Amino acid sequence: MRVKGQIRRGRRAEYSATTKRALVEVARELFTEQGYAGTSLDAIVAGADVTKGALYHHFAGKQALFEAVFEKVEQHASRAIHDRIKNEKDPWEKARAGLRAFLEVVRDPTYRRVVIQDGPAVLGYERFREQEERSTYANVLVIVTSVLSTGEWDLEPAMQRTFATIFFGAMSAAGESVSLAEDPEAAGDRVEAAIGIILDGLQALTSAR
């Protein structure tokens, strides 16, 4: 059963997928505007022009729907960052490029609300980290690992992960403050400068010995 080289999934399957996407998309918008707690399932299904039967057919519940939204947002952000650092060869340049990319990502209201603000509370911290592990945090870990390989530190993996966690937390907090500042442009520059100084310090340690 093939059409134009693609596997024909049947009308029913396509309609189903469309409904599911619509639910996730509407949920994403409402979660962004009103937060998780402030968004009712009734509002979501009304926006997607379906009923709760459809929602509970596709998702186990409100939290599962949120997680689907969360995953999509993270995936988008992760890809944006990855695209910006994959071509940088020098580890230190890669770090600075990644930082700039993240500061752009965090300006997206959806990312802030869904991932940073509501994410930990709704998913629980363990599940939150579990999701981060394969998206934005993964990018940070790659960068940190590559930076730490420049010196003669030879840190064990656990230590590399500790550094990644620290930088990830720093960037999240910084990103949040940037997008909430009255002058996000200037605030972003300050963050870039501050982390730049920290990186300079680490760089100084490697060249010193």
Residues that bind a second copy (CB under 8 A): 35-37, 112, 116-118, 120-122, 124-126, 129, 158-159, 162-163, 165-174, 176-177, 180, 187, 190-191, 193-195, 197-198, 200-205, 208
Through-space distance between the first and last CA atoms of the chain, rounded to whole angstroms: 66
The encoded tokens of residue 161 equal: 């992960």
CB of 52 vs a second copy, minimal distance in Å? 20
CB atoms within 10 A of CB 116: 15
Picked from DNA, a second copy, none, the partner binding residue 54 (CB below 5 to 8 A depending on kind) is: DNA
Give 6's DSSP letter. Answer: E
**Residue 139 CB contacts under 8 Å (≥ 6 apart), including other chains:** 78, 81, 82, 85, 98
The encoded tokens of residue 207 equal: 């060249």
Picked from a second copy, DNA, none, the partner binding residue 184 (CB below 5 to 8 A depending on kind) is: none
Picked from DNA, a second copy, none, the partner binding residue 172 (CB below 5 to 8 A depending on kind) is: a second copy
Q: Kindly tell me which of 85 and 115 has the beta carbon lying closer to a second copy.
A: 115
CB of 177 vs DNA, minimal distance in Å? 28
For residue 125, give the amino acid letter: Y
What is the rounded CA–CA span in Å between residue 88 and residue 96? Answer: 10
Q: Kindly tell me which of 19 and 177 has the beta carbon lying closer to a second copy.
A: 177
Residue pair 101/40 in contact (Cβ under 8 Å)? The answer is no
CB of 71 vs DNA, minimal distance in Å? 17
Q: Kindly tell me which of 40 and 162 has the beta carbon lying closer to DNA.
A: 40
